[in-house]
Structure 1
């Protein structure tokens, strides 16, 4: 496990909680809780319990439509006999017909689209956060679904009888076949693409969280919002501490922000993780400059 960042005291509890959460077995990770911890970096007053309760309430409405107990399912009361298609229809009714959740096409790169609290408040988001919302409400209603990280888009995999279908939460729960998913990816890419069956492999909880964090990282760095980008890198390296590219990138970001000691720590760690990297001499030069700067400051 990477060290938990300690230099930013107001955010320390977020890093600590996130590190504890993602240290669990992947299947045990509470995705909604983890996503709300990510959002808490931008919204320090966020009440995680309040937003978890919103998800619970949506699931109760779904179960109510089907005439099921509105208690949250447990291994003892989960509706094992329920037709998944009926549950999907009830999910779509609550989330899209009644609550009007929709893809934020007009302001796609707004970082709020990646924060689950804001998705719940604004009823809009990007494919991955709307998929996360859909999966978390479905899980609370009694159906476990899997996320699929297609190129340029995120969908949900569901087994309907002998047929595997894909749910597009960004487009009001539209059901797609594998071929229709490929056609959608081709339209988004504006070029012909060959089918890669690996695209349709379900993502792990950590991979899903990593995709959310990478979206935020890109948005903040594109906006030169370096402090916000640094906070996201801290979470990325708690999630995947052995990622040499992210260690390098955080070190250079620390250097840009004149955090010389932390830049030195990260770039030395990168050298150890990737001793034969093509940029090793460039990194050695950065390290030399940082050490000279620190010496002059002292």
Structure 2
């Protein structure tokens, strides 16, 4: 019982820290800190300091390399030299790469494990790329393409897209569309809203949704539930997430909590296409509770 209570207390500390981190001005959200709090769900004893120090050290190396390159050329510094320095440190020196062989491993979504193992998902490698870039003075934006996440660098003469999952591959808009078409079989024009930078909260939601899907895929409903709780801290009015959490509670036989969440979903979405299915779940929960009593 002591272990159970200590685990619950640790989770509550994580939730409170995460809620505090994401409750202020969205533009000031520290993505690295938030990502490490997410990782704490799986690694409750995680010390964030080594990971944050590693990001700082990587950024110092990027700045040092760029300074060396700039000092050896008499020409005006090319902004893309910054990206070249960042790519060299992360992909040539440190060998970060996309994890194609074990894509659905939960560790791909945890920043601490991405830093340890030099591999991850498109979005976690993009977060790493952005966080090192920020520390090195390189402003970068996350771009949430369908089924793939990339980074954009904008300067006075144009924009370039970077795919950290592909070891920093540089692309223009046309090449981005071709890449999306290969992954999704989309044959229409490039949708302009795909090119809008995602907000920090949107990026965290996408990381959490990926992770929740992986846990459900592995039938790890306890960790999926913990991730769903974090999602609802970011999206408190999201009825669909309320429904999903209710179904996870149901899988874990938390009948009272399941019924509460499913009722809330129907109140928020009374015309939902799955309302009859959800009502049936509620009916079955009531019957189960009655039998237990």
Q: TM-score, normalised by structure 2?
A: 0.90
Tell me which moved more, 85-94 or 206-215. 85-94
Structure 1 unpaired stretches of 5+? 1-6, 69-80
State the shift of 1:44 in Å. Answer: 1.4
How far, CA to CA, are the matches of 2:184 and 2:154 in structure 1? 27
State the shift of 1:241 in Å. Answer: 1.1
- 1:26–1:204 Cα contact (<8 Å) kept: yes
How far, CA to CA, are the matches of 1:216 and 1:277 in structure 2? 25
Structure 2 unpaired stretches of 5+? 1-6, 69-75
Identify the structure with bigger relative contact order (alpha carbons < 8 Å, sequence gap 6+): 1
Q: 1:195 aligns with which of 166, 177, 190?
A: 190
State the shift of 1:83 in Å. Answer: 4.9
Q: Which residue pairs with 2:255 in the alignment? A: 260
State the shift of 1:291 in Å. Answer: 2.9
Structure 2 residue matching 1:166: 3-state secondary structure: strand
Kindly report which structure 2 residues correspond to 1:215-294, keeping only aligned pairs within 5 A, or say none. 215-294=210-289
How far, CA to CA, are the matches of 2:123 and 2:169 in structure 1? 15
- 1:103–1:170 Cα contact (<8 Å) kept: yes
Kindly report which structure 2 residues correspond to 1:177-188, keeping only aligned pairs within 5 A, or say none. 177-188=172-183
Q: 1:278 to 1:103 in 2, by over 3 A?
A: closer
Q: Which residue pairs with 2:37 in the alignment? A: 37
- 1:84–1:143 Cα contact (<8 Å) kept: no
How far, CA to CA, are the matches of 2:236 and 2:151 in structure 1? 27
Q: TM-score, normalised by structure 1?
A: 0.89
Structure 2 residue matching 1:165: 3-state secondary structure: strand
State the shift of 1:216 in Å. Answer: 0.8
Q: RMSD of aligned C-alpha atoms?
A: 1.8
Structure 1 residue matching 2:237: 3-state secondary structure: coil
How far, CA to CA, are the matches of 2:97 and 2:149 in structure 1? 14
1:106 aligns with 2:118: no
